Amino acid sequence: MITYKPISRLRRLKLDLAFDNVLKVFEIQKDDVFSVPERIDLSLKLLVVNYWRIRNLSYDNKASILKEILDTFINPKSKTDSDNTKVFDFNQDSNYIYSSFMFDYGIDLVAEQGRLDWRKFLALFQGLSEGTKIRQVIGIRTAEIPEQNKHNQKQIENLLKAKNYYALSFTAEEMEEQFNRSLDKLAETLEKRAVKQNAEG
């Protein structure tokens, strides 16, 4: 178990920030089986080794502590591309990530459970080479569909099949966010096109 003494008012708490423990917290936060207070409590029980120190705190205080832990030690920065579109998921892509760590670093993530610190894991993940499986999958998900012409129909078909094969599953909330971003992007594209046409006309 990897433990840390957090900052500020959390100094008396010890955290377990092993990468597999943090990933469990991510899963709990997305699980609709649990209520919001239950998600907070379960997450804190996983992350805080001496949970008994905060067991009887109010829901608001526990939520505040969890937020501080996430913001200070965990919060991943690379879950989206430049358009804020989700391009990978630690759980859904676990097999690709496992094989990528073996390919680049010779690290067996199963053997490293409870040992590899989350921040080290994240740094290694962000440093994976383009030859790894997860980078290839992300490349497919983020690849733009080229404008069709008489020479690239097969290329487009293959890319669409690959995108469909490697597509991520989304929660209802994530789907709504993606849809709203797509509408915003479409509106922006149409606006730019109209400006361009007016300038040319």
What pLDDT is stored for residue 171 in this prediction? 62
pLDDT of 78 over the 50 cut: no
Q: Residue 72: what pLDDT?
A: 87
CA dihedral 109, 91, 137, 98 (to 10 degrees): 10
Query: What pLDDT, on a 0 to 100 scale, did the predictor assign at position 7?
Result: 46
Cα 111 from Cα 66, distance rounded (Å) = 28
Tokens 């989350």 belong to residue: 118
In tens, the pLDDT along 110-123 reads 999 999 999 999 99
As given in the structure block, the two tokens for residue 59 are: 């829901």
pLDDT tens for each residue of 120-179:
999 999 999 999 999 999 999 999 988 888 888 899 999 999 999 999 987 655 545 554
